[in-house]
Amino acid sequence: MNAATLPLLQIEDVTKTFTSGARSICALQSVSFNVASGEFICLLGPSGSGKSTLLRIIGGLLAPDVGAIWFQGARLTAPHSDIGFVFQTTNLMPWRTVLQNVLLPLEVQQGKLAAADTQKAIELLALVGLRGFEQAYPKHLSGGMRQRVVLARTLIQHPQLLLMDEPFGALDALTRERLNVELLRIHQMQAKTVLMVTHSITEAVFLADRVLMFSERPGRVVADLAIDLPRPRQLAQTGSAHFGELTMQVRQYIDAFAGMAENKTTDY
């Protein structure tokens, strides 16, 4: 397989165990899958199944005990400038304006900003729906608006891969819906590859090209479901019969593996 046909991201037999004193907890066990350039993939599974741990390994923030991560055909062992991370917590600097927060990564990297950098930040704020808020401070923004700032701050580094760890999990349902639509628009316009952790079946089916379902800890990929809804997607699709069928398929997988885990526990 030549470089042109390689997946953008390859997760190869990743296992991770955390040790605290005499106690060891295996978070991930032999996780393997590929992500093609431009794909939107959602990771879905119970709390504690290692999904966030996997994102941190892919982002170069943790090292696997076993296995490897390959990005753009090269083995990944440290944070990469082409990989951006969006967490659930916004971590904006309260003393900096929205525009200054977005520019922060470039300041850290370059030391000095050019006029083109500021213009790019203004364009990204418009892209995420925050035109006119450049000089506002985080305390004046809603939770959804702060998360938009974080997304713009991540995009200014031009990452090829976006890792998103429940970015909208703390928001109300209506705001979350609106930001899902915005995220799909940005994904389409900028041809980003997205790997996103969520606990919402509806959100996963609405956003993803594929939904990867994780087992109870230690986390393993127990199902890889293709979502064949046409793009561009609209909220109206969530009311269709096919959307309902897909969400039911996901739920059945989750229920089946939850039942297997309960039976295994009972046997002991």
E strand or H helix at 220? none
Q: What is the mean pLDDT of residues 28-51?
A: 94
For 178-201, letters b (16+ CB in 10 Å) and e give bbbebbbebbeeeebbbbbbbebb
From the list 135, 140, 144, 147, the residue with the least C-alpha distance to 100 is 135
Half-sphere exposure of 87 (CA within 13 A, CB side): 8
CATH class of 3-82+159-267: alpha beta
**pLDDT tens per residue, range 97-132:** 999 999 999 998 888 888 999 999 999 999 998 999
pLDDT for 155: 93
pLDDT for 256: 77
- Distance (Å, whole) CA 23 – CA 256: 29
Rounded mean pLDDT of the chain?
89
**pLDDT tens per residue, range 148-199:** 999 999 999 999 999 999 988 878 888 889 889 989 988 988 889 999 999 9
pTM beyond 0.85: the answer is yes
pLDDT for 268: 24
